[in-house]
Structure 1
């Protein structure tokens, strides 16, 4: 099988290539493309790709933009780290996806699925446009307010006023811009799905942070980052080396 990888993180593309070869040593990696521009140039010409692995967020834009310029008929497996709203759209459109960090067993299952069912099924431009329409619709349905118990009252807390969310001893707490702390009934995973990913980012297993609440970013050892927020966090907020490129890209948007 001849494969093309569209991924702007070197470590991620190398890891994916390693796992693919480990699963099936007959797989040939034709090339790794690191941008929308490079992908358009490559797929505009005749190519031999039988399967494409495509990251959603590239340095110069969303990979969906590639389909505005070229028609890709090879099956595509999208990879994503946090686009929860897009995942439902993938399911509706029968487009496969893998969550980062990619699990090798799930990767093997995807390969088996495409070998058995989708080898000759192309991904056409109109399918992707339908996907984009679903994503655009979903963007308008993010949660705007939570009703939380505070002392003996029910208090409405607007999501736009939440600076960050974090887990403390198994309890999710929301800290607002005016330094108030509220105990939330939802778990962090559900709240991540509720929030607009252009505004909020899942830093790690413990924290979700609003972009406007970030006041500084420091380099840490081994490629990690430390994020400073306002109001100050009760614990240090660390971005892993693997997630640092994605975080930087999100901050730049």
Structure 2
């Protein structure tokens, strides 16, 4: 546990809109983790007309992502997290290294409303999936964050599609329901045939301690879910017993006189 003063880094909330008596909200995270106040923080708003086409970027190569997995889906007090086997890995895409999967988690709004962390041209999606990877030579995220490019996170947006068929029956208990909308026959649901356009930038973790060690790959094509499925996440609870809603860090804008810029690159597969 890391602490500064009388408050601990564990005493934080990522509820972007509601106050919690016992937790520190996103605006005050720098009081428990100073890196959260630095200048390369995530998430960001991606302005498409300002992105730079990078011909060094190539498709992301997925390994082990079609394998059947057995894992636990947990409420860690801040979000839904699924630990992944490190045989699932990514490479290519000008990442420079092979990265092995560690876990995935989600950020969402309230009752299917806006809740993604990143935005594109100011548009906020209902939910965002983050798949966290580390360089193969590291044994944990804690080791990897000491390397400026030690962590690679894939970001996927979810969008409401009223015509999307439910992956599983809503009567299934909440824990299994969450599993069903992420997995089908124990395989992770990703739009593998629609990954031809993504955005790349160097940023940070979006939870304390906000380490600036993340190579972000944000895919533009959103994954469809029904409004009912997205709304189901709002029935979960934070560790203080309040509704688990608005679980996103706000867009990190310039809040001081320090110069800040992001080099956001675009990959478009012709």
Which category describes the TM-score, using the shorter chain as reference length?
under 0.3
User: TM-score scaled by structure 2?
Assistant: 0.24
User: TM-score scaled by structure 1?
Assistant: 0.26
